Amino acid sequence: MATLAETTMQFAQLEHPAPTNWETRDRILADPGFGTNFSDHMVSIDWTEGVGWHDATIGPRQPIALDPACAVLHYAQEIFEGLKAYAQADGGIALFRPEANAARFNNSARRLAMPELPEDVFVESVRQLVRADRDWIPTAEGSSLYLRPFMFASEVFLGVRPAKSYKYLVIASPAGYYFKSGAPAVSIWVSRYSRAAPGGTGAAKCGGNYAASLVPQAEAIEHGHDQVVFLDAVENKWVEELGGMNLYFVFDDGTLLTPSLTGTILPGITRASLLSLARDEGLSVREERYSLDQWREDARSGRLVECFACGTAAVVTPVGTVAGDDGEFTIGSGGPGQLTSKLKDRLVAIQRGTAPDPHGWVMQLG
Ligand code: PLP
Ligand code: COI
């Protein structure tokens, strides 16, 4: 197999004329929030039919001009990824499973009829940005530099067909906790809207899926809950996932369950990592369908003792209460459970370099 160094394209380095001053940056890093502050640089690579990928640059983060007929503005041919760079206990920097994000990005690209980006180029683009913006990585517990690689159809054309040109960009945003509420667990609202149907784009990370989740998410907030949970689109019965996180259930016999990847659920990298970590602990984890009725019954009988959401942005977040048109129920004590906290600590310790990395998930950037 070719190494990264042999296959990676060259990135032109454009100097930043006016980087953020350190006082402003340090103020942001002290309380980064989520998704509102951005680092100084970005990566950009173009793709043109007949030419392929070209003009890779790393330079100042700046607005991009789009023609009003740019295809993405009309037919939403857009995909993205989310991963994080973590400050390490020894002062270094590490990425967590960036190759998995690269592979998922290409799965999304295939579903949206977009060109694939070689995985080594994806990983190198992220490394380039993290190196350029290494001073933007917050170090406090629960914080990191959130990286957002994305690609959109840039052709100026209104016909409905795959575009003939695309732009791939990577931006970075210092991030703290995703849920601001500070509550020990989140409450979720069962939506009657569907997120994804069989044969649709549920397993792809495309912007359109999130656009469709905004009304249900707003409904969850209106009802006083933090997040929306979606059921399957056919029977409106099986629990799928939240708007931006996968779900796990923990039972009183110490076993776990996470909804199986049916094609309508996003295959989360955190989900997959926790599956391995739980099995490393000798726990039994089932990937199966789980119905809302069963969820309610198990919570009421006490068979279900913990439930948590997981994802890059949310890490591992306990779910305390579930509400919907049919009433509300509480899981366990309504707060963080023991196994949830243990798995979260195991994951975060690997990401932050305070525990060994038996699966080789961590990519050190030095
Ligand atoms: N499900 C959805 C819909 C998401 O947007 C995300 C976030 O990326 C996840 C699940 C969790 O995926 P990951 O753990 O790869 O971040
Ligand atoms: C992520 O966790 O990376 C996501 O894309 C989810 C989104 C809610 C921010």
What pLDDT does 260 receive?
Answer: 98
Q: Is 244 in the pocket of ligand 2 (CB under 6 A)?
A: yes
268 lines ligand 1 (CB under 6 A): yes
Residues 248-269: pLDDT tens digits?
999 999 999 999 999 999 999 9
Please tell me the distance between residue 82's alpha carbon and the centre of ligand 2 in angstroms. Answer: 6
Q: Which atom of ligand 2 is nearest to the CA of 35?
A: 9
Q: What is the reported pLDDT for 83?
A: 98
The answer to whether residues 306 and 339 touch, using CB atoms and an 8 Å cutoff, is yes
Would you say the CB of residue 311 lies under 6 angstroms from ligand 1?
yes
With beta carbons less than 8 A apart as the criterion, state whether 230 and 205 touch.
Answer: no
Taking the centre of ligand 1 as the mean of its atom positions, its distance from the CA of residue 195, in whole angstroms, is: 13
Structure tokens at 274: 């926790």
pLDDT number for residue 1 = 36
Measured CA to CA, the distance from residue 351 to residue 345 in angstroms comes to 10
**Pure H helices in 91-138:** 98-111, 119-132
Task: Return the half-sphere exposure (C-beta side, CA atoms, 13 A cut-off) of residue 238.
Answer: 18
Q: 158 C-alpha to center of ligand 1: Å?
A: 31
Residues of the chain with pLDDT under 50: 1-6
Q: Assess whether the C-beta atom of 247 lies below 6 angstroms from ligand 1.
A: no
Q: Are 157 and 69 in contact (CB under 8 A)?
A: yes
Convert 332-347 to b/e letters by CB count within 10 Å (16 or more is b): bebebbebbeebbebb
The CATH number that domain 186-350 falls under is 3.20.10.10
Whose CA is closest to 169, among 75, 72, 94, 265? Answer: 72
Which CATH topology does 12-177 take? D-amino Acid Aminotransferase; Chain A, domain 1 (3.30.470)
How far CA 250 is from CA of 169, 240, 253, 310, 337, in Å, comes to: 38, 16, 8, 13, 9
Q: If you measure from the C-alpha of residue 126 to the centroid of ligand 2, how many angstroms do you get, rounded to a whole number? A: 17
C-alpha distance from residue 308 to each of 177, 304, 313, 337 (Å): 15, 11, 14, 9
Ligand 2 centroid to residue 206 C-alpha, Å: 11
Q: Determine the distance separating the centroid of ligand 2 and the alpha carbon of 243, expressed in angstroms.
A: 9
Residue 364 C-alpha to ligand 1 middle, in angstroms?
A: 23
Q: What is the full DSSP assignment across 131-168?
A: HHTGGG---STT-EEEEEEEEEE--B--SSS--SEEEE
CA 175 to each of CA 35, 37, 62, 312, 313: distance values in angstroms, whole numbers, following the listed order? 7, 8, 20, 11, 8
CA 338 to chain centroid, in Å, comes to: 24
> Cα–Cα distance between 79 and 102 in angstroms, integer?
12
What is residue 312's predicted lDDT score, i.e. its pLDDT?
A: 97
Closest C-alpha to ligand 1, atom 9: 245
| Structure confidence at residue 182 (pLDDT) | 64
Q: Phi, psi at residue 191, to the nearest 5°?
A: -90, 150
> Residue 311: helix, strand or coil by DSSP?
strand
Q: Which helix (H) or strand (E) holds 22?
A: helix 22-30
SS3 state at 267: coil
Asked if residue 311 has its Cβ within 6 Å of ligand 2, the reply is yes
270 lines ligand 1 (CB under 6 A): yes
Closest residue by CA, ligand 2 atom 7: 244
Domain boundaries, given as residue ranges, for the chain: 12-177, 186-350
82 C-beta closer than 6 A to ligand 2: yes
Question: Which of ligand 2's atoms lies nearest the C-alpha of 312?
Answer: 2
Beta carbon of 245 within 6 Å of any ligand 1 atom = yes
Pocket probe for ligand 1: among 80, 260, 266, the residue whose CB has the most ligand atoms within 8 Å is 266
CA of 229 to the centre of ligand 1 (A): 13
Q: Tell me whether residue 174 is exposed, middle or buried, using C-beta atoms within 10 angstroms of its C-beta: 0 to 12, 13 to 18, 19 or more.
A: buried
**Sign (positive/negative) of CA torsion 203, 178, 313, 342?**
negative
Closest CA to 82 of 108, 60, 62, 105: 105
